[in-house]
Amino acid sequence: MSKSPDNTSPTRTHSDSTESIEEAHGITRASEIVRIPGYLLDQETLQRIEDVAKDIVGNGGKIDHKYEMRSSPRTPGGHVFSCKNLDVLLPRLGSKEEPVENLSLRYSNGVSAGANIVFESDGTVRAKAFSHAPDLQFDFDRLVREISDCDQQYSWPIRFLVYKPGVRRLFRFAIILLSVFLMGTLAFYVYARRVGVNVDPSVIPPGETIANRVDEAIKSNDVNQKINVLLSAQLKGFANIRDILALQRRILAWLLIALAVTSIGLLILKYFARLYPKAFFLFGKSERTWTQLQRRREIWGGAIMIGFFINIIAGLVVGLLLK
C-alpha cells in the first residue's frame, strides 16, 4: 500500500517511550553511521542483515517487522511503500522502475528491544539498536559488519574522482574562473583592436639603448639628434597593437583549450557518477541495469587504458624527434 510522506512512521513517539524505559530499566543503546559510497544491497545481504537484527530483538518474544521504501519519482516528496513482511517487500523492490531514495528496516520486541537500519541513496547506512541484553554491543558489531559487506571495494581513483563532491566542485569553479578570464581577455582584444596603433618598429628604442642615445645626444651639438632622442624616450615601453593582438590570440587559444578540457572532464565525471552510483538496490529488474553498468565500466576502463598507453608512446616519440 502507499502512504503520504507525512505518515512515514511514529519514530518520535517510539523514541520518547523508549527513553523513559531506558531510565527505568537500564536499556542500553548503540548507533552508528556507516558511510559506504557505492554500496550494493541484494537479497542475500538483506536477509543476513535481517537475521542479525532479529538476534538483537529476539529473546523468544514476538518480533514486529516494519519495512518502508521511499522512492523518488517525478512528484514532490516521492512515494512511501510500507509493509510488515519481507516477502511483500522483495517483489516491490524488484518491480520499481523509479530510483529508491531510502529503505528502512525496523524490528521491535514490544518496548524492550528494537533495531532500525536505514539505507540512504547517498551511500550512507544508519543503524540503531536498543536492548537490555548484555551482549547488545556484540550483536550490533555483527550487524555493522554485515552492512559493511555491501561495500564494492572500488579502486581509489574511482572513490576519489566519483565519490568526493569536492572534485566536481573544483571543476565547476575552474570552468567559472576560466570563463571569466576568457570574457575579460576577449573584451580587451576587441577594445585593443579599436584603439590600438602601429608605428615603425625601428623608432621604438629596444631595451637599454635609450640610455646610450641620450648619452650621445648630450655630447652632440646636433639639435635634431637631441629632439629625436626626446621623442624616442616617449616610446619607451610602447608595443605595437599587432604584437599585443598576437599575444592575446595565443592567450585566448589556451583559455579555450583549457575551458574545453575542463568541461569535458566535468562531463566525464558526471557520466562516471552514473556508472558508479552511490547506492544500488539489486533486486528484480535492476539486475539487468547492473549488468549493463558493469559492461560499460569494462568498456570505459579499456578505453582509458588504451588512451594512457597511446599517450605514453606519443610522448616517447615526440621526445625522440626533439633530440
Domain boundaries, given as residue ranges, for the chain: 2-154
pLDDT value for 173: 94
Tell the residue number behind the cell numbers 574522482, with chain if given. 161
pLDDT value for 13: 32
Length of the chain equals 323
Tell the residue number behind the cell numbers 629632439, with chain if given. 227
Split at pLDDT 50, 70, 90, the class of 19 is very low
pLDDT value for 59: 60
| Amino acid at position 280, single letter | F
Split at pLDDT 50, 70, 90, the class of 9 is very low
Integer Cα distance of 310 and 303 in angstroms = 10
Please state, for a pLDDT cut of 70, what percent of the chain lies above it.
Answer: 67
pLDDT value for 177: 95
**CA-based R_g, the chain, Å:** 35
Read off the pLDDT of each residue in 124-145 and give the average, rounded to a whole number.
Answer: 90
Other Cβ atoms less than 10 A from the Cβ of 167: the count is: 15
For residue 111, give the nearest of 163, 74, 59 by alpha carbon: 59
Read off the pLDDT of each residue in 216-235 and give the average, rounded to a whole number.
Answer: 61
98-110 pLDDT, tens digit each:
678 889 999 988 7
63-95 pLDDT, tens digit each:
888 888 887 654 455 578 888 888 888 888 877
Split at pLDDT 50, 70, 90, the class of 201 is low
- Give 94 or 14, the one with higher predicted confidence: 94
What's the 3-state SS for the chain?
A: CEECHHHCCCHHHHHHHHHHHHHHHCCEEEEEEEECCCEEEEHHHHHHHHHHHHHHHCCCCCCEEEEEEEECCCCCCCEEEEECCHHHHHHHHHHCCCCEEEEEEEEECCCCCEEEEEEECCCEEEEEEEECCCCHHHHHHHHHHHHHCCCCCCCHHHHHHCCCHHHHHHHHHHHHHHHHHHHHHHHHHHHHHHHCCCCCHHHCCCCCHHHHHHHHHHHCCCHHHHHHHHHHHCCCCCCCHHHHHHHHHHHHHHHHHHHHHHHHHHHHHHHHHHHCCCEEEECCCHHHHHHHHHHHHHHHHHHHHHHHHHHHHHHHHHHHHHC
pLDDT value for 6: 39
- Tell me the three cell numbers of residue 136: 547488545
Sign of CA dihedral 52, 53, 56, 59: negative
Query: Cβ(5)–Cβ(77) under 8 Å?
Result: yes
Read off the pLDDT of each residue in 290-297 and give the average, rounded to a whole number.
Answer: 87
Query: Cβ(118)–Cβ(148) under 8 Å?
Result: no
Question: What average pLDDT does the chain have?
Answer: 77
Given its phi and psi angles, is residue 40 left (phi above 0), alpha (psi -120 to 50 degrees) or beta? Answer: beta
Read off the pLDDT of each residue in 121-131 and give the average, rounded to a whole number.
Answer: 91
Tell me the whole-structure pTM to 2 decimals: 0.68
Whole-number Cα distances in Å, 197 to 116, 170, 238, 278: 76, 40, 10, 58
